[in-house]
């Protein structure tokens, strides 16, 4: 049984001081969420988002920056997402090491962004229409979640996850990836975000396969 209280751990810091890259990531995501409340900051945030200007204007930096700024504005759920990200990333730092966790996260963002852009571009070149919600499924904290959740679930695949954030329900870790994929497909069915779906699938595959590789083992 993997039973933890991320709220208490976040406040009390019982896992020790978080690595610098975790702090930078969380600050970037939080500033992105807060910045959407200010009209003056929205153009700056828009420069970091994943969109068609990657191939239309050659703005390649977006393939990485889109995962470093939060999206969707401040809400109770966005606060919960940040707590979950903090807990999972710190837990991965403990189990696989800070350097490997950093590669897992930032490498996954780049892989997911590249997959999303390639699939979206191919979709449009073959006559597909661009959804008004293009790339919504992997903007900001969503791509981070898509990477770290399957990574954690794979690393602890023989355990049961139990947290207050999940209503204290005992959930076998090996179910988590399947649940994530079902949610992604249902979201795609509503938004028709083809590029975003490709990004989620790439992020999920990256997170899961990285944890199964021997070079990630302690």
Phi, psi (degrees; rounded to nearest 5) at 162? -140, 115
φ/ψ (deg, to 5) at 85: -60, -45
Task: Render pLDDT for 55-86 as a digit per residue (tens, 0 to 9).
Answer: 999 999 999 999 999 999 889 889 989 988 99
20-26's contacts with Cβ under 8 Å and 24+ in sequence apart are 21/98, 21/102, 21/105, 22/86, 22/89, 22/90, 22/93, 25/68, 25/85, 25/89, 25/105, 25/144, 26/82, 26/85, 26/86
Stretch 117-127: mean pLDDT:
94
Is a pLDDT exceeding 70 seen at residue 110?
A: yes
pLDDT at 215 exceeding the cut of 70: no
DSSP 82-144: HHHHHHHHHHHHHHH-HHHHHHHHHHHHHHHHHHHHHHHHHHHHTTPPPPTTTTGGGTTHHHH
Higher-scoring residue by pLDDT: 201, 171: 201
Q: Are 93 and 22 in contact (CB under 8 A)?
A: yes
The string of pLDDT tens digits covering residues 12-39 is 444 567 889 999 999 999 999 999 989 9
Q: What is the mean pLDDT of residues 151-178?
A: 73
Q: Report the pLDDT value the prediction gives residue 177, as an integer from 0 to 100.
A: 87
Position 153 confidence tier, pLDDT thresholds 50, 70, 90? confident
Domain with 62, as residue range(s), is 2-216
Of the candidates 128, 139, 142, 130, the one whose C-alpha atom is nearest the C-alpha of residue 183 is: 142
Higher-scoring residue by pLDDT: 201, 159: 201
pTM, full prediction = 0.85
The mean pLDDT value of the chain amounts to 85
Lowest-confidence region among 4-13, 14-23, 82-91, 155-164: 4-13
At 137, is the pLDDT very low, low, confident or very high (cuts 50, 70, 90)? very high
Question: What are the tokens at 215?
Answer: 């070079």
Domain of 87, CATH number, reads 1.20.1540.10
- The fraction of the chain above a pLDDT of 70, given in percent, is 85
d(CA 65, CA 48) in angstroms, rounded, equals 5
The stretch 170-182 carries a mean pLDDT of 82
- Please say if the pLDDT value at position 216 is more than 60: no
In this prediction, residue 218 has a pLDDT band, given cuts at 50, 70 and 90, of very low
SS3 content of the chain, % helix, strand, coil (to 5): 70, 5, 30
Task: Please report which confidence band the pLDDT of residue 174 belongs to, taking 50, 70 and 90 as the band edges.
Answer: confident
For residue 112, the model assigns a pLDDT of 97
Count of domains observed in the chain: 1
The pLDDT score that the predictor gives to residue 169 is 65
């Amino acid at each position: 049984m993997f039973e933890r209280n991320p709220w208490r751990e976040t406040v009390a810091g019982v896992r020790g001081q978080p690595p610098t890259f975790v702090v930078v990531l969380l600050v970037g995501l939080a500033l992105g969420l807060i910045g959407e409340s200010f009209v003056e900051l929205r153009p700056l945030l828009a420069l970091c988002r994943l969109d068609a200007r990657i191939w239309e204007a050659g703005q390649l930096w977006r393939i990485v920056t889109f995962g470093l700024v939060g999206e969707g504005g401040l809400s109770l759920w966005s606060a919960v997402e940040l707590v979950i990200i903090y807990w999972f990333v710190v837990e991965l730092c403990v189990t696989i090491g800070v350097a490997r966790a950093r590669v897992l996260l930032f490498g996954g963002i780049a892989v997911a962004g590249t997959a999303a852009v390639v699939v979206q571009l191919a979709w449009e070149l073959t006559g597909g229409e661009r959804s008004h919600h293009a790339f919504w499924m992997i903007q900001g904290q969503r791509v981070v979640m898509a990477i770290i959740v399957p990574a954690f679930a794979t690393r602890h695949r023989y355990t049961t996850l139990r947290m207050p954030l999940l209503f204290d329900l005992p959930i076998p870790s090996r179910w988590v990836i399947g649940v994530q994929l079902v949610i992604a497909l249902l979201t795609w069915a509503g938004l028709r975000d083809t590029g975003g779906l490709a990004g989620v699938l790439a992020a999920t595959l990256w997170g899961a396969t990285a944890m199964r590789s021997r070079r990630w083992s302690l």
